[in-house]
Structure 1
Amino acid sequence: MTAIDFPDDLIELERSAWDEIQRGALTVPTAQAVHEAVAAYAEEAGLARIDVEMGLKRIVRHPETEQAD
């Protein structure tokens, strides 16, 4: 997959969701905000939503793999 240059606000939003997931406290508003932001970014960038979502999750949840690429 091609590296995507994610905006900082999108990364921070995913980090907030990941933190809530890890605490077992993911809220609907947080999940909705991430979903909408990912979809908007994907459309704006001309990318598949799933590629944006998976790439974003990868850099937030597994930052060590980004260093290897």
Structure 2
Amino acid sequence: MAEIPDELVELERSAEEERAKLAGLGDEEREAQRKRWRDAADKFEAAVTKHAEATGRSRDDVRAAARKAVRNAEEDPAE
């Protein structure tokens, strides 16, 4: 699998960290945190698209490679 830029790995890590913060929140807090998670996830997806277009790789391949890099680097922040 081709190299994934550090920026993509960091953006995916950030999105996963925001997702992990959803656990145990009340309704109002959960909605605010969900927005932070979606914002982080949207930044990651935009970077995936940009990298895929620049390299000619599929978005799915780039996304999967970034997620794999995050999970191989550390444990799932949701656990």
Q: Report the Cα offset of residue 6 of structure 1.
A: 1.1
Q: Extract structure 1 runs of 4+ deviating beyond 3 A.
A: none
Greater relative CO (CA pairs within 8 A, separation 6+): 2
TM-score of the superposition, structure 1-length normalised? 0.76
Q: Distance in 1 between matches of 2:50 and 2:44?
A: 10
Which has more radius of gyration? 2
Identity %: 34
CA RMSD, Structure 1 to Structure 2 (Å): 1.5
Gaps of 5+ in 1: 65-69
TM-score of the superposition, structure 2-length normalised? 0.68
How many residue pairs are counted as aligned between the two chains?
61
Q: Report the Cα offset of residue 4 of structure 1.
A: 2.2
Q: Which of 11, 14, 17 matches 1:13?
A: 11
